[in-house]
Structure 1
Amino acid sequence: MNHIQNHHIPAGRLRVGRKSPQIFQACLGTCLGVALYDQERKAGGLIHLLLPSPLGNAGFEADTPGKYASTGIPMLINELTRMGCTTKALKATIAGGALVGPVSRIDLGLDIGGRSADIARRILKEQGIEILRSETGGFFACTLELDMMTGKTKIAPVWQTGIEPGTIAPVSGPEAIMETIDKLQPIPQTALKILRMSNQDGHSIDDITRELSQDQVLSARTLQMCNSVLFAGIIKIDTLKDALMMLGEERLVKSVITTAIESYFGQVGPSGYSLCKGGLFFHAVGVACLAERLARQSGLADPSQAYMAGLLHDIGKVVLDQHISAHLPFFFRILGSEKQNIIHAEEKILNFNHCRAGVILAEKWGFSDALTEAIRCHHTPEETGGHSRLVEIIYLADQIMEKFFTFFDIDKPDALHLEAIIKKLDLDGASLVRCIDDLPLDILTQDLTDETSNT
């Protein structure tokens, strides 16, 4: 029996190695994947590229050039040549760069995947590296795999399954879903109280820190979150008082709720809504950061409220995840149908959907009307009521994450309202690309290695 390690390569990252029982894998939507392998030296690597090139003439941090085709591919080549590989012996496979989901004129105009692929081909040609296989463009997400034992590559649709057409899957129902809602470990009451306090006048920051200090576990985890790249970066924070002084009330509250949500999303199983460990949480953080940026840039919603709504929009998936695993192949097949979105797929096999489950939780936990509406309507912004701009911002942020970070959760982009919302928010293609470029990859690119045994 050969023990094979599967290594997921997240956006903006690369991995190299020598012959070994490993498979490097990137799940690609609009992003581009490039795999290189030298059969003579038995070494190779894979890079997952987010964007074609840095924006304008602005500089970029030393730890981010892996995001761009123009700088990331030379990095990969340099890493392999340092291992003794030669450009003459290296062979390349390129995949991704798709126009995922229904395509808008914004997608066609930006052509992010197409431009990344053009840059990749140009660099490889200049370096004299032969491209053995190139499958880019199209309208569907895919995976690119590099087998480090053989150097062989594999490109497959994300929704591919071996299920037989006539397979019948069992169906859950509302009663089972409601039982799960009652059994799941909720968001800590301390975090919910702090969230409510932050939305009300008359509270003081001392009230918030006093409340937080009463929950020692949440306090300790919050300090860890405060020291993450997402909040403090290189600043060392040792106490809640330090956190308050260095971050301020708004960022401290954000770190508390982010910590609580990370714990809540930790209840998802090893297979279900996410294609990698921790994927649902990373997706939530990505949507939250994008929503905050879009709200600030458009001026049409409160940035802090947009962050919270982005963080909480998919809480219903944690409930349904407890039931999805047993029906996963059937769920994949339904979602892979061009006419089925995730809400239809959920309703078909569970008689429920994650928006409905999320609203039940939101009402149970006393969320504001605005947050509840964002949870209810983030797939159907046309159904929103008095908080339309907030809902539209969450919808847009969610769509962007689905296009560029395909592997975080099993969903299917639905750009039906995308163009109209971008116009309402007075955004253009360049501003959207800048929002994508500003995503905190350090928090979104944790160690996503999964180990599986293959005979």
Structure 2
Amino acid sequence: MNYQKIEHIAAGQFKAGKAQTDIFQAYLGTCLGVALYDKSKKIGGLIHILLPEPPSITSVVFLEKYASTGVPMLIKELKDLGARTENLRASIAGGALVGPVSRQDMNLDIGGRSTDIAVSILDACGVKTIKSETGGFFTCTLELDMATGKTRINPAWEDTFESEKHFIAPSLDDILNTIDQLKPIPQTALKIFRMFQSARHHITDITAELAKDQVLSGKTLKLCNSALFAGMVKINIVNDAVLIMGEDMLIKSVITAAVNTYYNQAETSGYSLCKGGLFFHAVGVASTAEKIAEKSGKSSVKLAYTAGLLHDIGKVILDQYVADASPLFFRKLSQKNENFTQLEKKLLGITHSEAGTILAKKWRFSDELCEVIQLHHTPEKAKKNKDLAYIIYLADLLMEKFNAGFDLEKMQTKSFENALEHLGFTMADLPELVDAIPINAINNDDILNTQR
């Protein structure tokens, strides 16, 4: 049997090629996927669209994020490769509703408007649409076989298991033993993190601590030079990083590099749906939370970024048990009435939020971080840090709905409108919040290389 490589197309990106054998795949929630293929030339491509059009034309950086600009880009790329517009055939999927269906949701209809714009552009170019499954309330995958031009649209949680193997839930002792066996975030990083949080530090103290851990120093510098931190100048030593990037950005890169190593202990058979999935999701939530905190003024942007990075640390603890229970997880996640954390509790006896809280306390995280890690799925239950809990919940939800495919997740949406209201937003602000998702930071090869 011939093996075909599956290439993941992340939100806000597209890929085109000629005479290739790979399968292009996009996980789609509210995002829209458009696959185009010219069978006579064996030329095709797939675009993963985030929004209908730019929230503000002056802020446009990545044109491929939007239906209005991305679809023409893909068509031009295919024509440059030799495709003929009249021979292209389109398959369209995604565009589901964000969450609780209200009149506001129906009026905003991000996915529906992306679909309308994409279809109008295709029609104007004379491209025939042969398959279209859009709307609804579910996450799906769109696949394009670059060897044949055939496309498949499937529910993301499609049950591919023929049978369920016997599963025994872990005991609390099993969980605690797993925590003891995991390679922790380096003590150097934790010490720098606490210094950063205390606001009583000097950058020379931080760089001196970082110099004590050569492995972490190396990974930090590599991350400083990656697209995640938009490095334009090659940085070779930590002191240069301070001068070029600034103190806050350097410390963010230290924490991110340390969390990268920790999340990398999760395999792709549990929560992580692709190589580095948990880490990429965490980076996306952290960056989006930082923007939400800045726009709302409800939390320190430093704290929001850190909390976003750390909110799912419990998934690494439970990852191996989720892998064992994956037939049950995938089957039940396809049922609309199943709550993700309730399902964890039912099958494992503990949620990733609870497991993460145990670890956070062991690592002596602040009370506010511990509360947010515990309650990021149920922010309304937060007693002292409701603002931060709602920020992380909203960032997590936006990543799951608009940038699906990195990790096993299904956020509850009943808190969505409360989160917007609590943070001072309306549904009209949603496109701008979605636009804050860091397209250039997700699935970056430079970041992947730091995991090795």
Would you say same fold, with TM above 0.5? yes
- 1:116–1:440: structure 2 CA closer, same or farther, 3 Å change rule? same
Q: Is this contact kept in 2: 1:38–1:44, CA < 8 A? A: yes
- Equivalences for 1:128-147 in 2 at 5 Å? 128-147=126-145
**Alignment partner of 2:281 out of 280, 283, 286:** 283
Instruction: Please give the alpha-carbon distance, in whole angstroms, between the structure 2 residues aligned to 1:242 and 1:201.
Output: 22
Q: Is 164-173 or 323-332 further displaced after alignment?
A: 164-173
In structure 1, the partner of 2:185 is 187
- Equivalences for 1:219-368 in 2 at 5 Å? 219-368=217-366
**Alignment partner of 1:74 out of 59, 72, 97:** 72
Instruction: Please give the alpha-carbon distance, in whole angstroms, between the structure 2 residues aligned to 1:348 and 1:173.
Output: 13
Shift of the alpha carbon at 1:338?
Answer: 1.5
In structure 1, the partner of 2:109 is 111
What TM-score do you get using the length of structure 1 for normalisation?
0.94
Shift of the alpha carbon at 1:297?
Answer: 1.3
Amino acid paired to 1:114: G
Amino acid paired to 1:372: C
Instruction: Please give the alpha-carbon distance, in whole angstroms, between the structure 2 residues aligned to 1:16 and 1:227.
Output: 27
- Structure 1, unaligned runs of 5 or more: 451-455
**Alignment partner of 1:65 out of 43, 63, 67:** 63
- Structure 2, unaligned runs of 5 or more: none
Corresponding residue SS for 2:430:
helix
- Equivalences for 1:129-208 in 2 at 5 Å? 129-163=127-161, 169-208=167-206
Instruction: Please give the alpha-carbon distance, in whole angstroms, between the structure 2 residues aligned to 1:211 and 1:123.
Output: 55
Q: Is 310-319 or 84-93 further displaced after alignment?
A: 84-93
Instruction: Please give the alpha-carbon distance, in whole angstroms, between the structure 1 residues aligned to 2:8 and 2:69.
Output: 21
Shift of the alpha carbon at 1:246?
Answer: 2.4
- 1:360–1:106: structure 2 CA closer, same or farther, 3 Å change rule? farther
In structure 2, the partner of 1:429 is 427
Superposed CA offset, 1:223-273 (max 9, x none): 111222332431332211112222222222111111100111110112211
Q: Is 206-215 or 344-353 further displaced after alignment?
A: 344-353
Superposed CA offset, 1:90-125 (max 9, x none): 111000001144435553332111110001110110
In structure 2, the partner of 1:214 is 212
Instruction: Please give the alpha-carbon distance, in whole angstroms, between the structure 2 residues aligned to 1:59 and 1:383.
Output: 36
- 1:310–1:105: structure 2 CA closer, same or farther, 3 Å change rule? farther
Q: Is 194-203 or 385-394 further displaced after alignment?
A: 194-203
**Alignment partner of 1:84 out of 74, 82, 85:** 82
Instruction: Please give the alpha-carbon distance, in whole angstroms, between the structure 1 residues aligned to 2:254 and 2:437.
Output: 20
Q: Is this contact kept in 2: 1:11–1:445, CA < 8 A? A: no
Corresponding residue SS for 2:239:
helix
Superposed CA offset, 1:354-381 (max 9, x none): 0011001100101001111110000011
Q: Is this contact kept in 2: 1:232–1:247, CA < 8 A? A: no
CA RMSD of aligned residues (A): 1.9
Instruction: Please give the alpha-carbon distance, in whole angstroms, between the structure 2 residues aligned to 1:232 and 1:239.
Output: 17
Shift of the alpha carbon at 1:204?
Answer: 1.7
- 1:266–1:92: structure 2 CA closer, same or farther, 3 Å change rule? same
Amino acid paired to 1:149: A
- 1:421–1:59: structure 2 CA closer, same or farther, 3 Å change rule? closer
Q: Is 391-400 or 429-438 further displaced after alignment?
A: 429-438
In structure 2, the partner of 1:409 is 407
2:47 paired with 1:22: no
Shift of the alpha carbon at 1:437?
Answer: 1.4
- 1:313–1:106: structure 2 CA closer, same or farther, 3 Å change rule? farther
Superposed CA offset, 1:390-413 (max 9, x none): 111111111111110110111112
- 1:153–1:447: structure 2 CA closer, same or farther, 3 Å change rule? farther
Instruction: Please give the alpha-carbon distance, in whole angstroms, between the structure 2 residues aligned to 1:29 and 1:285.
Output: 19
Instruction: Please give the alpha-carbon distance, in whole angstroms, between the structure 1 residues aligned to 2:88 and 2:199.
Output: 63
Corresponding residue SS for 2:207:
helix
Instruction: Please give the alpha-carbon distance, in whole angstroms, between the structure 2 residues aligned to 1:203 and 1:445.
Output: 33
Shift of the alpha carbon at 1:435?
Answer: 2.6
Q: Percent identical across equivalent pairs?
A: 53
In structure 2, the partner of 1:453 is none
Superposed CA offset, 1:193-216 (max 9, x none): 111111225422211111111001
Amino acid paired to 1:390: L
- 1:395–1:180: structure 2 CA closer, same or farther, 3 Å change rule? same
Shift of the alpha carbon at 1:59?
Answer: 5.0
Superposed CA offset, 1:128-152 (max 9, x none): 1111011000000000011122211
Instruction: Please give the alpha-carbon distance, in whole angstroms, between the structure 2 residues aligned to 1:42 and 1:220.
Output: 43
Instruction: Please give the alpha-carbon distance, in whole angstroms, between the structure 1 residues aligned to 2:170 and 2:69.
Output: 49
Instruction: Please give the alpha-carbon distance, in whole angstroms, between the structure 1 residues aligned to 2:445 and 2:110.
Output: 26
Amino acid paired to 2:424: D
Aligned residues: 447
Q: Is this contact kept in 2: 1:173–1:352, CA < 8 A? A: no
Instruction: Please give the alpha-carbon distance, in whole angstroms, between the structure 2 residues aligned to 1:42 and 1:56.
Output: 37
Instruction: Please give the alpha-carbon distance, in whole angstroms, between the structure 2 residues aligned to 1:10 and 1:202.
Output: 39
Instruction: Please give the alpha-carbon distance, in whole angstroms, between the structure 2 residues aligned to 1:221 and 1:42.
Output: 41
Q: Is this contact kept in 1: 2:164–2:328, CA < 8 A? A: no
Q: Is this contact kept in 2: 1:177–1:319, CA < 8 A? A: yes
Instruction: Please give the alpha-carbon distance, in whole angstroms, between the structure 1 residues aligned to 2:313 and 2:306.
Output: 12
Q: Is this contact kept in 2: 1:102–1:416, CA < 8 A? A: yes
Superposed CA offset, 1:66-95 (max 9, x none): 111111111111111122211111111000
In structure 1, the partner of 2:36 is 36
Shift of the alpha carbon at 1:40?
Answer: 1.4
Shift of the alpha carbon at 1:182?
Answer: 0.8
Corresponding residue SS for 1:402:
helix
Structure with more relative contact order (C-alpha pairs < 8 Å, separation 6 or more): 1
- 1:308–1:104: structure 2 CA closer, same or farther, 3 Å change rule? farther
Superposed CA offset, 1:272-310 (max 9, x none): 112211111111111111111111111111111111111
Corresponding residue SS for 1:15:
strand
Q: Is this contact kept in 2: 1:6–1:24, CA < 8 A? A: yes
In structure 1, the partner of 2:10 is 10
**Alignment partner of 1:98 out of 96, 99, 107:** 96
Shift of the alpha carbon at 1:168?
Answer: 5.3
In structure 2, the partner of 1:369 is 367
Instruction: Please give the alpha-carbon distance, in whole angstroms, between the structure 1 residues aligned to 2:254 and 2:349.
Output: 34
Q: Is 293-302 or 11-20 further displaced after alignment?
A: 11-20
What TM-score do you get using the length of structure 2 for normalisation?
0.95
